[in-house]
C-alpha cells in the first residue's frame, strides 16, 4: 500500500496474464511493478450468504474448488472459457476484475451474480458493487491508491439457475460476445421472479442488461425472445477485425435468449 | 534498475544467477542457463512454447518474472529425462507417432499433456478423453503436425 501511494506510475502485478503481455509488447511501461503474489494465501471461504474469494484466487481454483462449484456454479462454468491451462494456473479473479477487459468472462459473471469487491486504500476499506466498478475500456472507478482484496458473491439460492454462453472463433480466444444469465423462479409454477443478464464484448465495458418482466404462462418463450430482441436493439457494439457491430448485435440476441432459457431450465432442475 | 543475484531451482539443480528484476523466467532459463527447450514464441501466453512447470503446474515462462520463481522449483522438458538423457516415456510416444516434426512446440506439448495425464491419474481415472486432451492443449500451437499425431501419442502414453 505504501509503495502504491508513493508512486504515480505504479502497477500491481497479480497473476500477470494480462499485464505481462502488455509489458512484453511495450503497451504498458510502468515506473514500478508491485508483486502481490506473496501477500495473501487465504483460500475461498463462505460467511453466511456470501462466498468470499480472496483477490489472488487463481482461475484454476475457481474451476475446481468445491465452495465455488457449489455456491457459484456460473463462475466455474465460465472459467472454462478463460485462457488456457497455464493462464488459469496464474491468473487471478481480483486481477481480472481490476484489468476491466470489456470481454471479460469473470466480469460478466460478477455482474450477473451481483458480486461486490472489497477495495483497500490509504483511508481504509470500502465495498464496491461490481455494477459500479467498470468505467470503460480497461479502467475502473477505483482510486490509483486502492487495491482489490476480496470478491464477495452472494451464494446461489435454491430455485436459482445460471447460464454462461459465449461465441469465439477459436476456443480460449477473447469472447466476441458473452452472456451470463441468472434466473430466479417465483412461487407459482413457471414464474420467473427475477432475471439478471450481463453481456461482454458489446460495449467499452462488461454491462448489465434488464430483461424486464417475463410471463409465467405459455407466452414465456415469446417473452424471452422479445426480451432478447429488445436488449439487442439497444446495444451499440463496435465493429473491429473480429466481428461487425451487426454480427455482435445478432449474436447478443441469440445468446441472450439461449442463456435465459438454459438458466430457467436449470432453476427448475430440468437440466444441469 | 540493477541486477540482483537470485537462486533458481531448475530441474533439480540450484543455479545462482544475476538477473534484472524485470527479466522473464523464459529469458533467464533460455539465455542465462542455456535451456534451449524453453522457447520464445509469442510473448503473450497464447502459443505454449515457453511452458515450464512451476511447483509442478504448467505456467507461461514469458508471463512470469524470474524473481517470482525464487523458492518455487522449475521443471523444463529436459528435467523429465533420466540420467544420460534417457527419454521420458511420453517423449518416446511422441517419437513413435511422429508427433514432433520441427520440434519447436514439443516441450510445451509434452509438459502440458503430462500435467493433464497426471491430474487424471490423481483423480483415479484411467485416461483423459480425446476431447479433454484437445481442450488441455488449446494453448499449445503446432504448425507442422495437424495435432492428430500428438493426440495419438498422448493417448498411447496415458494407456501405459
Mutation target to probe the A interface, by most A beta carbons within 10 A, among B6, B21, B27, B59 is B59
Q: What is the percentage of chain B residues whose pLDDT exceeds 90? A: 93
Q: A29 to chain B: nearest residue by CA?
A: B22
Q: How many residues does chain B have?
A: 160
> How large is the average pLDDT for residues A127-135?
98
> A30 CA to chain B: closest CA distance, Å?
11
List Cβ neighbours of B82 (8 Å cut-off, separation of 6 or more): B88
Instruction: Provide the pLDDT confidence category of residue A126 given band limits of 50, 70 and 90.
Output: very high
> How large is the average pLDDT for residues B2-22?
97
Could you tell me if B108 and B69 lie in one domain?
no
CATH number, domain at A165?
Answer: 3.30.390.50
Instruction: Give how many domains chain A has, as a whole number.
Output: 2
Residue A81 lies inside a defined structural domain of this protein = yes
> How large is the average pLDDT for residues B105-129?
94
Separation CA A214–CA A201 (nearest Å):
25
Rounded-to-10 torsion of CA B78, B79, B81, B87 = -40
Residue A31 lies inside a defined structural domain of this protein = no
Could you tell me if A16 and A112 lie in one domain?
yes
Helix axis angle, A220-234 relative to A245-267, nearest 10°? 150
Instruction: Provide the pLDDT confidence category of residue A272 given band limits of 50, 70 and 90.
Output: very low
Residue A38 lies inside a defined structural domain of this protein = no
Q: Nearest Cβ partner of A84 from B24, B54, B138?
A: B138
Residue A88 lies inside a defined structural domain of this protein = yes
Q: Which of A32-36, A190-194, A220-224 has the highest mean pLDDT?
A: A32-36
Instruction: Provide the pLDDT confidence category of residue A214 given band limits of 50, 70 and 90.
Output: confident
* Grid cell for residue B158: 496415458
Could you tell me if A114 and A11 lie in one domain?
yes
Q: What share of residues in chain B are helix, strand, coil (percent, to 5)?
A: 40, 20, 40
Report CB contact under 8 Å: A84, B48. Answer: yes
Q: Provide the CB-side half-sphere exposure for B147 (13 A, CA).
A: 13
> A83 CA to chain B: closest CA distance, Å?
8
> How large is the average pLDDT for residues B127-154?
96
Residue A147 lies inside a defined structural domain of this protein = yes
> A19 CA to chain B: closest CA distance, Å?
8
Give chain B positions within 8 Å (CB) of A20: 24, 45, 60, 62-65
- H-helix or E-strand spanning residue A221: helix A220-234
Q: B59 to chain A: nearest residue by CA?
A: A86
Report CB contact under 8 Å: A20, B57. Answer: no
CB A216 within 8 A of CB A191: yes
Residue A171 pLDDT: 86
- A-B C-beta contacts closer than 8 Å: 72
Residue B15 lies inside a defined structural domain of this protein = yes
Domain carrying residue B143: 89-159
Check CB contact of A32 with chain B, cutoff 8 Å: no
Q: Nearest Cβ partner of A24 from B62, B112, B139?
A: B62
Rounded-to-10 torsion of CA B144, B146, B147, B153 = -80
The region that residue B34 occupies, defined by phi over 0 for left and psi between -120 and 50 for alpha, beta otherwise, is left
Separation CA B117–CA B82 (nearest Å):
19
List Cβ neighbours of A118 (8 Å cut-off, separation of 6 or more): A125, A126, A127, A128, A148, A149, A150, A151, A152
- How far is residue A268 CA from its own chain's centroid? 24
Q: B27 to chain A: nearest residue by CA?
A: A24
Could you tell me if A52 and A185 lie in one domain?
no
Could you tell me if B67 and B105 lie in one domain?
no
Q: What is the pLDDT of residues B59-96, one digit of tens each?
A: 999 999 999 999 999 999 999 998 888 999 999 999 99
Instruction: Provide the pLDDT confidence category of residue A33 given band limits of 50, 70 and 90.
Output: very high
Residue A33 lies inside a defined structural domain of this protein = no
> How large is the average pLDDT for residues A30-57?
96
Report CB contact under 8 Å: B60, A17. Answer: yes
> How large is the average pLDDT for residues A77-90?
96
Residue A15 phi, psi dihedral angles, 5° rounding:
-70, -25
Residue B82 lies inside a defined structural domain of this protein = no
> B136 CA to chain A: closest CA distance, Å?
6
Check CB contact of A91 with chain B, cutoff 8 Å: no
Instruction: Give how many domains chain B has, as a whole number.
Output: 2
Could you tell me if A56 and A98 lie in one domain?
yes
Instruction: Provide the pLDDT confidence category of residue A21 given band limits of 50, 70 and 90.
Output: very high
Residue B40 pLDDT: 97
> How large is the average pLDDT for residues A121-149?
96
Average pLDDT score, chain A? 94
Check CB contact of A35 with chain B, cutoff 8 Å: yes
Q: What is the pLDDT of residues A229-258, one digit of tens each?
A: 999 999 999 999 999 999 999 999 999 999
pTM of the model: 0.94
The complex's ipTM works out to 0.95
The closest alpha carbon to A211, from A188, A230, A186, belongs to A230
Q: B26 to chain A: nearest residue by CA?
A: A24
Residue A189 pLDDT: 79
In this predicted structure, the answer to whether residue A110 has a pLDDT above a threshold of 80 is yes
Q: What is the percentage of chain A residues whose pLDDT exceeds 90? A: 86
CATH number, domain at A134?
Answer: 3.30.465.10
Domain carrying residue A72: 2-26+43-154
Of the residues A128, A154, A180, the one at which a domain ends: A154
CATH number, domain at B114?
Answer: 1.10.150.120
Q: How many residues does chain A have?
A: 272
Q: Nearest Cβ partner of A90 from B63, B116, B139?
A: B63
Instruction: Provide the pLDDT confidence category of residue A270 given band limits of 50, 70 and 90.
Output: low
CB B152 within 8 A of CB B100: no
Q: Nearest Cβ partner of B64 from A16, A83, A170?
A: A16
Amino acid at each position: 500500500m505504501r509503495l502504491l501511494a508513493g508512486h504515480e506510475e505504479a502497477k500491481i502485478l497479480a497473476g500477470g496474464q494480462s499485464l505481462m503481455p502488455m509489458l512484453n509488447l511495450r503497451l504498458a511501461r510502468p515506473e514500478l511493478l508491485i508483486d502481490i503474489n506473496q501477500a495473501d494465501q487465504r483460500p475461498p471461504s463462505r460467511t453466511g450468504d456470501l462466498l468470499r474469494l480472496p483477490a489472488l484466487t487463481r482461475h484454476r481454483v475457481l474451476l475446481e474448488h468445491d465452495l465455488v462449484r457449489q455456491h457459484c456454479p456460473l463462475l466455474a462454468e465460465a472459467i472454462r472459457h478463460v485462457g488456457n491451462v497455464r493462464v488459469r494456473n496464474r491468473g487471478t479473479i481480483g486481477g481480472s476484475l481490476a484489468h476491466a477487459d470489456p470481454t471479460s468472462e469473470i466480469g460478466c459473471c460478477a455482474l450477473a451474480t451481483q458480486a461486490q469487491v472489497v477495495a483497500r486504500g490509504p483511508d481504509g476499506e470500502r465495498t464496491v458493487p461490481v455494477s459500479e466498478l467498470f468505467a470503460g475500456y480497461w479502467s475502473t472507478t477505483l482510486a490509483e491508491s486502492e487495491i482489490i482484496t476480496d470478491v464477495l458473491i452472494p451464494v446461489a439460492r435454491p430455485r436459482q439457475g445460471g447460464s454462461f454462453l459465449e461465441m469465439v472463433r477459436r476456443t480460449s480466444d477473447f469472447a466476441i460476445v458473452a452472456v451470463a444469465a441468472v434466473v430466479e423462479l417465483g412461487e407459482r409454477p413457471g414464474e420467473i421472479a427475477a432475471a439478471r443478464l450481463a453481456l461482454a464484448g458489446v460495449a467499452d465495458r462488461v454491462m448489465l442488461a434488464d430483461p424486464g418482466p417475463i410471463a409465467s404462462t405459455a407466452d414465456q418463450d415469446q417473452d424471452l425472445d422479445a426480451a432478447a430482441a429488445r436488449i439487442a436493439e439497444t446495444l451499440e457494439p463496435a465493429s473491429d477485425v473480429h466481428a461487425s457491430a451487426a454480427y455482435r448485435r445478432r449474436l447478443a440476441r441469440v445468446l441472450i435468449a439461449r442463456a435465459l432459457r438454459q438458466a430457467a431450465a436449470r432453476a427448475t432442475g430440468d437440466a444441469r | 534498475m540493477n541486477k540482483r543475484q537470485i537462486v533458481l531451482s531448475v530441474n533439480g539443480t540450484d543455479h545462482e544467477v544475476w538477473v534484472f528484476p524485470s527479466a522473464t523466467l523464459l529469458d533467464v532459463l533460455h539465455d542465462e542457463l542455456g535451456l534451449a527447450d524453453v522457447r520464445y514464441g509469442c510473448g503473450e501466453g497464447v502459443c505454449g512454447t515457453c511452458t515450464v512447470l512451476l511447483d509442478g503446474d504448467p505456467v507461461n515462462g514469458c508471463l512470469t518474472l524470474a524473481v517470482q520463481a525464487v523458492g518455487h522449483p522449475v521443471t523444463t522438458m529436459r528435467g523429465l529425462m533420466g540420467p544420460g538423457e534417457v527419454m521420458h516415456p511420453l517423449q518416446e510416444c511422441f517419437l513413435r507417432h511422429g508427433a514432433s516434426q520441427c520440434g519447436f512446440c514439443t516441450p510445451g506439448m509434452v509438459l502440458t499433456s503430462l500435467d493433464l495425464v497426471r491430474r487424471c491419474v490423481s483423480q483415479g481415472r484411467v485416461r483423459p478423453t480425446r476431447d479433454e486432451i484437445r481442450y488441455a492443449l488449446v494453448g499449445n500451437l503446432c504448425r507442422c503436425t495437424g495435432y492428430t499425431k500428438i493426440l495419438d501419442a498422448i493417448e498411447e502414453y496415458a494407456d501405459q
